[in-house]
Chain A
Amino acid sequence: MRTWQPFEWIVAARFLREGRWQTVFIIGGVAIGVAVIVFMSALLTGLQANFIRRVLTAQPHIQLLPPRETVRTLRDHEPGALEDATRQAPLQRLKSIDQWLAVAEQIRAMPEVVTVSPAATGSALVIRGEANRAISVVGIDPALYFRIVALPDKIVQGGTRLNAGDILIGTELASDLGLGVGDKLRITAASGSDSVFAVSGIFDLGSKGANQRTTYMALRAAQSLLGLQGGVSSLDVTVADIYGAENVAQRITAATGVEADSWIKTNAQFFSAIQAQITANTAIRFFVGLSVAFGIASVLFVSVVQKSREIGILRAMGVTRGRVLRLFLLQGGLLGLSGSIVGSSIGAAALLLWRQLARGPDGLPLVPITLDTLLFLAALLLASITGLLAAVAPAMRAARLDPVVAIRG
């Protein structure tokens, strides 16, 4: 016996060692449960991160837009008078966010906000020879905008240079109009103003529609083309916690009076799918944990019955109820801890195997999985706590055993 080991530890470890196969099988059961939880959690976390990355690298977390134009009846309604009037929905003109520089500064000062990028967006027509296409012009400040949308990663030809006469176009538009890097094209805005731009880069956003319609140019160029001199039609914002985006959006609206839409609101279906996945994962973890707890509890109940004579003898020798209680609680904790160590190892091995085998046609992993140390630590901690909790009932039963009855068997 080692002098640093307390009584409870010595007896608990020896009891577990004595019930060899019983202990091996329950540790195996706990290990399988923990392995399932570790594997599933890492896989689903990887899947979600992948989905979210795909969605949020192409759009801001929050977008501020100018208020929508509404109509109201100017004439007061006279009581008792009959009136026949229709209200026509107003046209939504392209307009700037009022005092956008001050609003941007105000948002930038918020601790949750990472980047604020202004944009001037509008519709236009691109004409080249006899061909023309309707496009969406997005005027950006590249230094800020590229922090929100990783456009440089999506460039397939040319670069991301955006001087006054430069434009970035999608692969579909380039193909439709036979454009290459350095070619010129004329763009006419709805207001009638037009300018000639040179293609400085061609990008692939991964969507045919986006590659056909979206174009990027310098903010100033877009402002003058769209008739928004000095103004911006939106402020794009990224935040540190993507799941807190809706709360930040509401705070921005409250603080600035400008309508702010979070990605959670604009991608409600996607977000609810992610939430459903998280809920399903939590439910599976809960039920696996519950079955692990019941497994440990049942083995310990059997152990209490098997060891009742020893418990009686220990009690006769002056071992207190508290020590007996702790001795069985410790066995539960040890079973949980041992099972979680084995289970975490199995889970990690399965994840490494998955990473090797589950690859797409391009040779890259189907789901990018990272072996998160925190996940393993959490599994160890939760399994040990589950073991302890599962041991409460059997331990109380052991502690309450009447030594006379226990010794008599």
Chain B
Amino acid sequence: MADAAVPAVVVRLERVRKAFNVGQPAEVEVLHGIDLELRSGEFCAVMGPSGSGKSTLLNIVGLLDRPTSGLLSIGGQETTALDDAALTRLRGRSIGFVFQYHHLIGAFTALENVMMPMLGDAGFPSLAMEDRARALLNSVGLSHRCDNLAFNLSGGEQQRVAVARALAMRPAVLLADEPTGNLDTKSADVVFDLLRQVNRSQMTAVLFVTHNPSLARRCDRTIEVVDGAIVGATLVTQASAPRG
């Protein structure tokens, strides 16, 4: 039985390997036996040079890609045996994504973009969804931009809408793949603070890929991925126990 004082593990990777072109001469392994645990309320930075496997790691944790071997559980549920429909359902309900580029859907307004995950899950829109989307946009300081099309927002605003969208389904895990990479310093700080605030207020676990050491220092811990392996882990604060 879990200790009540210790936050629950929401992401667990055990000996996860990922190879491409398996069985072919061009087979290449990009992740070599990753072990990682992420607990509820933990804010973990992932650093490493380009091509080291950070994005692949994030795709696997986000159930967008399957590991070649090893175990992956999300919220205590083992995922490697699940079919595509079950993975999609679990991904939609448990995981939020914020990408380097906002990837908002240009045909929709900011409000509709935030509603989209809820709509995709339920099938039909509702007033409750709209209220939640408005509240989320309000929480990222964009209540006045609800009815603007995504393309009419500034880069920083778009990324804040993307954060609001990632939170729509109250995910247990938020995966942020260099979300501040395309932003100026001020906007980057705003987005980071937003993620930190969500992480603290809602106990959402955050896996935050960044090349920015100063942002990484503001996380609970930092793991460094080099050549497909975790080579170092740094505990930055005492907010959570470093693992993996």
Q: Is the CB of A5 within 8 A of B125?
A: yes
A186 within 8 A of B: no
| Interface presence of A87 (CB below 8 A) | no
For residue A3, give the distance in angstroms from its CB to the closest CB of chain B: 5
Residues of B in contact, count (CB < 8 Å)? 34
Q: Is A309 an interface residue (CB 8 A)?
A: yes
Question: Which residues of B are at the interface with A, using a C-beta cutoff of 8 A?
Answer: 59, 62, 64-65, 84-85, 88-89, 91-93, 97, 99, 103, 105-108, 112, 115-117, 119-127, 130, 165, 169
Q: In residues 195-247 of chain A, which contact B (Cβ within 8 Å)? A: none
Across chains A and B, which 6 residue pairs bring their CB atoms closest together, nearest first? A318-B92, A319-B120, A18-B107, A1-B125, A14-B107, A317-B117
Task: Please state if B88 and A318 are interface contacts (CB–CB under 8 Å).
Answer: yes
B125 near A317 with CB under 8 A, answer no
A187–B165 CA distance with the chains assembled, in angstroms: 100
Interface string of A159-181 (1 = CB under 8 A from B): 00000000000000000000000
* A15 and B107 contact, Cβ closer than 8 Å, known pairs A317-B120, A323-B120: yes
> What is the CA–CA distance of A319 and B88 in the complex, to the nearest angstrom?
7
B89 contacts across to A, CB distance below 8 A: 318, 320
Q: Which of A312-352 contact B (CB under 8 A)?
A: 312-323
Selected A-B contacts with CB under 8 Å, 10 pairs: A15-B107, A17-B107, A313-B103, A316-B64, A318-B92, A318-B169, A320-B89, A323-B120, A404-B64, A407-B64
How many chain A residues touch the partner (CB < 8 A)?
A: 29
Q: How far is the CA of A1 from the CA of B93 in the complex (A)?
A: 22
Known contacts being A316-B64, A319-B88, A320-B88, is A7 close to B93, with CB within 8 Å?
no
Count of inter-chain pairs, beta carbons less than 8 A? 78
* B92 adjacent to A319 (CB under 8 Å): yes
Contact of A316 among B91, B106, B122 (CB under 8 A): B91
Give Cα A18–Cα B165 distance, bound, in whole angstroms: 21
Least Cβ–Cβ distance between A246 and chain B, in angstroms? 54
- CB-contact partner of A4 in B62, B85, B88, B124, under 8 A: B124
Q: State the majority secondary structure of interface residues on B.
A: helix
Q: Is A10 an interface residue (CB 8 A)?
A: yes
Given A1-B125, A4-B124, A317:B112 Cβ within 8 A: no
**Interface residue? A77 (CB, 8 A):** no
**Contact status of A317 and B116, CB under 8 A, knowing A3-B125, A10-B125, A404-B65:** yes
Q: Which of B97, B99, B125 contacts A2 (CB 8 A)?
A: B125
- Name, among A2, A310, A318, A321, the residue most crowded by chain B CB atoms within 10 Å (CB to CB): A318
Question: Which A3-47 residues have a C-beta within 8 angstroms of B?
Answer: 3-7, 10, 14-15, 17-18
Q: Does A403 contact B (CB under 8 A)?
A: yes
Interface string of A287-329 (1 = CB under 8 A from B): 0000000000000000000000110111111111111000000
- Point out the residue from A3, A17, A316, A319 that lies within 8 Å of B124, measured CB to CB: A3
A42 and B85 alpha carbons, distance in the complex (Å):
48
Nearest A residue to B130 via CB reads A1
